[in-house]
Amino acid sequence: MISALGHDPSANASTSSTGGGSLVANASGHARIYQAMGDMTVIARTGAPAGPAVAPVAVQVDEDAVFVGRDEQLEELLTAFGEHRDTSAVVVSAGMGGVGKTALVTRAAARAVEQGLVTTAVVLNLNGYDPDPAQRVKPRDVLGPLLRLLGLPDEQVPATVPEQLAAYRALLAAWERQGRRLLLVLDNAGDADQVTALLPPAPHVAVVTTRDTLTLPGRTRHLDLDTLPMTDAVDLLTQLLHHSHPNDPRADDGAALVRLADQCDRLPLALEIAAAVLADEPSTSAADFAGELTAAPQPLDSLQRADRSVAAVLELSWHRLSERHPEAAELLSLLPIDPGPDLSTGAAAALVGIGEAQVKPRLRVLRHAHLLQLIGGRWRMHDLVRQHARTHLTDQQRNPAVRRLLEHYDRLADAADAHLRALPDDSVPDTFPGRAEALNWFDTERANLTSAVALALDTGHHHLTTHLAAALSEYLSWRRHLADWVTVSEHALAAAQHLNTSRTLAIASNNLGAALREVRRFDEAITHLQQAAAIFRETADRHGEGQALGNLGNVLREVRRFDEAITHLQQAAAIFRETADRHGEGQALTSLGNVLREVGRFDEAITHLQQAAAIFRETADPHGEGDALSDLGLALWEGRRFDEATSVHQQAAALFRETRDPHSEGRALNNLGIALQKVRRFDEAITAHEQAAALFRETADRQDEGSALNNLGNALRQVWHIDYAITVQQRAAALFREAGERRHEGIALRNLGNAFCEAGRLVEAAEAWTKALPAFEEAGDSHSVAAVTERLGTLQ
């Protein structure tokens, strides 16, 4: 069923920081950043298989980045990574802002991958010290993307944070069995709440960087990072000057460099910016610049200790930038308007209101001044630089820039959304080459886009709030960013209430209801969807009414109000037929068929699902056809039409294979195997279940893999392959136990006991059945408890 309405038409590179250390590839290029999206970076070995966990992207690595000192700390980190393989371990690197924590741990992560201490490193920037609390990353913000990076398919990412945490632990357990080890770097954490839930279990390892003292669970090793020793600080200045101008004579003025390093308090970020100023001003001596710093004001009074040196350097750098590159200075003040952790060149251009070609030289000026970093093709600034830049932004600059930025995101999101919703023959904007590129853009910009919806609401841009939120709905639903979907939908409804126009209110209520259904807040979802349907009806918007009724029917099915669900879905299908929306009709009929199947009206369910499959075939939607056929196979099976069910499941599996959806293909094959068992084609059933289990294993779905193995064991027993059956039933029980599925664990243990019994291994049969009893008791399955108790009685 279409879950969200469209818009109201009326309405990796290395870090650039040096001193504290930058990630660089070694001479053989063994460690590479494979993925850099938003606040998440993946480091893996060159030439490693792509697989589902690491999808290589084109990333420029800065081979010439300067890294000075930190040898002792680097060795301590690598030792910690290698030591703790049997217990969960956390290394906390603490130090003031700008001291080089991120550069150090990122370099250590690359070394750990090179040396084989870990398989993959994932670096998450938690923005824990951003002045805007909304920008501080919480576990719910990163769990979904992290699960995808670790190999979980989109459709298997759970809706709620507790479910995502369970999936995260199960996935890491699968990594352990595969001999893979994760290093998770939780960078820039402001408090323990940002990191505790994300800490991986043994044998995986975590590193946390922070400016504070954090109390974390598990074995914790603390590594305090101080400013650079004077020798290293001077060495850093020397190398940075030579890096810009190989024959720069100021690099040989040791006394002046000592004085300058002292004025920078030997803080790497301050040293980098100071060196950039000197590089930009060949006639300024190191001694003169040190003197200016001595007399400079320190406007950021909230900064403590050596962070004050950054304030002094930043203020002088700002004044020089204003004099020499006023357009770059203007851009720097505007960049903090962007609400995300980083931004594209296009977004920077939108802030100023110029083209990308014009903004690139300004961005380069800021990068050369070490006021901006280019990471994975995206621009990011240190939060101390961001805080300082905000002090030079006026309301006269801010207000039009906010509007330009929001319009930029809205225009691109609208085009990307068109690709996601398009059927094969639909025309789409040429902004993106295709659907894959549109989806990648959404993935990269998600943090910016969801934050932009809040920015639009806060700044009174209510039309843009509703329009942008609607453009995000299909993507957030597809990628299962459900918490984000609820949040932006709530913002859209608040904006729609300000606008107080019927269609905008109805669209926002429909989308919020659809999102609430996905997070199982069914009562609220029903209320919003009823309101949406009523408004659409009052305004004679038949198509919108059909979408709201279809969504409402799906929610009512979830709460087992089947009669009402059937009525609403029948109405939705009729409306889509009336408005000539064949695809919408097919989705409504699929939902209707499933409800009818649940209430035992199999003949009607079969008719509707056959009609739905035909519509999807007609509208060239093979995946939709596969979904309808998969559900049709279940209805035929439950109607005891096993031969037909077998044929339909085979067709569904082929369609999912064609559309490259391995998880859905696995489900179709698993169902096919069950149907084949019913017609006693056991050898074919065994093959189908084995293929299904392999696909579920590939997509890291432990519960469905357990289901396929359980069914495989039953088929094997029918042809007396008892030893093989015992092996797969043991595996199935273990998978269900790890997934916390106690009833299914009980079923697998009961079947395992049956297999042992058939093999004459009665003691082991009794053990398996005895273990099944508490699983069934915890699940409240009294019927199975009685059945297993009876089986145990036969052994006495």
CATH number (domain holding residue 734): 1.25.40.10
In a domain, 242, yes or no: yes
CA distance 278 to 163: 53
CB contact at 8 A, 762 and 771: no
Do 209 and 246 lie in a common domain?
Answer: no
Count of beta carbons in the 10 Å neighbourhood of residue 574: 15
The per-residue pLDDT for range 35-48, each reduced to its tens digit, is 444 566 677 655 44
Do 298 and 207 lie in a common domain?
Answer: no
In a domain, 313, yes or no: yes
In a domain, 709, yes or no: no
CA distance 560 to 565: 8
Count of beta carbons in the 10 Å neighbourhood of residue 550: 29
Do 215 and 350 lie in a common domain?
Answer: no
Last residue of a domain, one of 192, 224, 256: 224
Q: In what order do the strands lie in the sheet with 31-37?
A: 31-37, 40-45, 120-125, 182-189, 205-210, 89-94, 219-224
Do 159 and 304 lie in a common domain?
Answer: no
Task: Select from 225, 227, 181, 226 the least CA-distant residue to 206.
Answer: 181
In a domain, 163, yes or no: yes
Token pair, residue 411, equals 């225009």
Task: Select from 118, 120, 162, 161 the least CA-distant residue to 142.
Answer: 161
| 677, containing H or E segment | helix 662-678
Token pair, residue 355, equals 């083209």
Calculate the CA 176 to chain-centre distance.
21
Given a cut of 50, the residues of the chain with pLDDT beneath it are 1-3, 7-37, 47-63, 299-308
Give how many domains the chain has, as a whole number. Answer: 3
Last residue of a domain, one of 370, 395, 420: 395
Do 296 and 196 lie in a common domain?
Answer: no
Do 220 and 237 lie in a common domain?
Answer: no
Q: Is 207 helix (H, G, I), strand (E, B) or coil?
A: strand
Q: What pLDDT shows up at residue 62?
A: 42
Do 87 and 182 lie in a common domain?
Answer: yes
In a domain, 239, yes or no: yes
Instruction: Tell how strand 219-224 and strand 89-94 pair up.
Output: parallel
Phi and psi angles of residue 762, each rounded to the nearest 5 degrees, phi first: -70, -35
Residue type, 251: A
Q: What pLDDT shows up at residue 35?
A: 47
CATH number (domain holding residue 182): 3.40.50.300
State whether the Cα torsion 353-355-358-363 is positive or negative.
Answer: positive
CB contact at 8 A, 191 and 128: yes
Residue that is written with structure tokens 């001077």 in the block: 234
Do 130 and 276 lie in a common domain?
Answer: no
Do 166 and 302 lie in a common domain?
Answer: no
Last residue of a domain, one of 360, 377, 395: 395
| 182, containing H or E segment | strand 182-189
| 715, containing H or E segment | helix 702-718
- In DSSP terms, 221 is beta-bridged to 91
Residue type, 229: P
The parent domain of residue 266 ranges over: 230-395
Do 196 and 259 lie in a common domain?
Answer: no
In a domain, 768, yes or no: yes
Do 261 and 205 lie in a common domain?
Answer: no
In a domain, 438, yes or no: no
Do 134 and 212 lie in a common domain?
Answer: yes
CA distance 163 to 482: 12
Residue type, 80: A
In a domain, 472, yes or no: no
CA distance 488 to 502: 19
Residue that is written with structure tokens 């357009």 in the block: 327
Q: Give helix then strand counts, H and E, for the chain.
A: 32, 9
Count of beta carbons in the 10 Å neighbourhood of residue 273: 24
Task: Select from 600, 605, 606, 685 the least CA-distant residue to 650.
Answer: 685
CA distance 168 to 230: 44
